[in-house]
Amino acid sequence: MTIGNVIVIMTDELRRDFLGCYGNPLVKTPHLDRLAARGARFDAAYTPSPICVPARASIATGRYVHETGCWSNAQPYHGAPDSWHHKLRQSDRTISSIGKLHFRSPDDDNGFSEEIRPLHVRNGLGWVQGLLRDDMDMFDASGFATHIGPGDDPYTQYDRSVCAQTVDWIRQRAATPHDTPWGLYVSFLRPHYPLTCPQEFYDLYDPDQVPMPRAATAGSGADHPILEGLRQSCNFDAPFTDDTRRIAVASYYGLCSFVDQMVGQILTALEQGGLDQSTTVIFTSDHGECLGDRGFWTKMVMYEEATAVPLIMTGPGIEPGVHTAPVSLIDLYPTVLDLAGIARPDDAPRYARSLLAALDAPDPDRAILSEYHDYGAQTGMFMLRRNQWKLVLYPGYESQLFDLETDPGETIDLAADPGHATVLADMTNALHKIIDPDQVNAQAFADQARRIRELGGRDAIRAMPGFDHTPVE
């Protein structure tokens, strides 16, 4: 392995099957397709949590949500435990961030040498209303179906700025080379809603030609009581008509192409600066987007559209290929350290494994965990992916089981099928080897109850200004 520079490019809410390299026949993502063609593409990569703040804390630290205690969008990362950014900086590498971090504050030591144009949670608090998980009628989701179609938006403006500053950073680095390899973390907001899309990218897609969201089917488990509760508390779908659904989907397609164009600018800057041969590029997203499938929008469920993420890695010594063994975004921690030539620390995360090892010795039997403990979830949601199987466990409720090999669309819940009782038991046992879901569920609620008290109680939280996505301030 060649020790060199590392760039991690993070997008927000980009679902895996909305890239051409992952088989989408409609989307136009030529730059990412080219990146995937010359590197490693992981076809079973998962987020540690299908919601922004917990996912990003886990990605930073290489630890699952139950290990970080960053349970919700109101419990952000605050600089501890050490991140892979800390480890790079402690080894005298420059590690810069440009763009969205979604941590608590720039006043915390988040491990970077510098934070350029950072976006953290609002006022250091995040979306505190999400702590009230049983307050099912508090959130007004009507704006989601309004802010769609062609137009400008602060999120788009922010991303253009992040892209321009990244290109400038790379050009400066190319003009003043250093003997010590460096790291760069670039994080865009898009294609995260609002689904307003720059006109030139919206025009790439005809709303009458985009596929409509997939309806929930009988026997799919989409009527599970926990999922019904999520629909009630976050009813993004109700304000839509068929026409506005098509506009929203076309906008999402356009935003994916917008992200692709910005990635292309970054790759071009690397090539023009002569850094492409000494730099590993890792591209991914913090989680996916339901986009109306089964009546859900945004994320917050354990279906593939929300938990599966694109993951592409290319650079010196990385052979082109497609890898199907399950991996997790917590694996970025040991991967970046390996790429930088930094020995694994004594406090290394327990479950994270280097993607470089996954390239050499893929492990299809590895169990990958994802968790959700935020608004609308009346109990914790735990997903386990192992081999072809996916288990979704809800403490106090019936579990769900899907065979992703024969049923990649997750249309048949097999948990109640006597013929799959052994598989269900084996998957449940595999989950229990990682966590005690009842204990973790109780801890999440206890920590959130304490945070509610710290903020003045439930009435005080209800009175705080609400927002449905972090504003660019």
* CATH number of 217's domain: 3.40.720.10
Helix (H, G, I), strand (E, B) or coil at 376: coil
Residue 2's pLDDT is what?
Answer: 59
The predicted model gives 369-375 an average pLDDT of 97
Confidence category of residue 467, pLDDT binned at 50, 70, 90: confident
Beta-carbon count within 10 A of 395 CB: 17
In our burial notation (b when 16+ CB lie closer than 10 A, e otherwise), range 55-88 reads bbbbbbbbbbbbbbbbbbbbbbbebebbbbbbbb
Per residue in 161-177, pLDDT (tens digit) is: 999 999 999 999 999 87
Per residue in 229-250, pLDDT (tens digit) is: 998 888 899 999 999 999 999 9
Q: What percentage of the chain carries pLDDT values higher than 90?
A: 89
Residue 473 lies in a domain: no
Per residue in 89-139, pLDDT (tens digit) is: 999 999 999 999 999 999 999 999 999 999 999 999 999 999 999 887 777
- Which residue shows structure tokens 């090999």? 405
- C-alpha to C-alpha distance for 363 and 22, rounded to whole angstroms: 21
Beta-carbon count within 10 A of 137 CB: 8
Number of domains into which the chain is organized: 1
Residue type, 129: Q
Residue 399's domain spans which residues? 5-463
Q: Tell whether pTM > 0.95.
A: yes
Determine the longest span between alpha carbons in the chain, in angstroms. 65
Q: Rounded mean pLDDT of the chain?
A: 95
Confidence category of residue 179, pLDDT binned at 50, 70, 90: confident
Residue 469 lies in a domain: no
Per residue in 393-452, pLDDT (tens digit) is: 999 999 999 999 999 999 999 999 999 999 999 999 999 999 999 999 999 999 999 999
Please give the distance of CA 442 from its chain centroid, rounded to a whole number: 25
Cβ atoms of 255 and 210 within 8 Å: the answer is no
- C-alpha to C-alpha distance for 28 and 316, rounded to whole angstroms: 27
Burial class, 99, CB count within 10 angstroms (exposed 0-12 / middle 13-18 / buried 19+): buried
- C-alpha to C-alpha distance for 32 and 16, rounded to whole angstroms: 12
**Is pLDDT above 90 for 51?**
yes
Residue 18 lies in a domain: yes
In our burial notation (b when 16+ CB lie closer than 10 A, e otherwise), range 341-370 reads ebeeeeeebebbbbbbebbeebeeebbbbb
Confidence category of residue 1, pLDDT binned at 50, 70, 90: low
Task: Find the range with the poorest average confidence among 41-45, 114-118, 465-469.
Answer: 465-469
Residue 468 lies in a domain: no
Per residue in 302-361, pLDDT (tens digit) is: 999 999 999 999 999 999 999 999 999 999 999 999 999 999 998 999 999 999 999 999
Residue 263 lies in a domain: yes
DSSP string, 95-146: EEEEEE--SS-TTS--S-SEEEEEE-SGGGT--GGGG-TT-TT----GGGGT
Residue 178 lies in a domain: yes
Residue 471 lies in a domain: no
Residue 472 lies in a domain: no
Give me 77's structure tokens. 């990362």
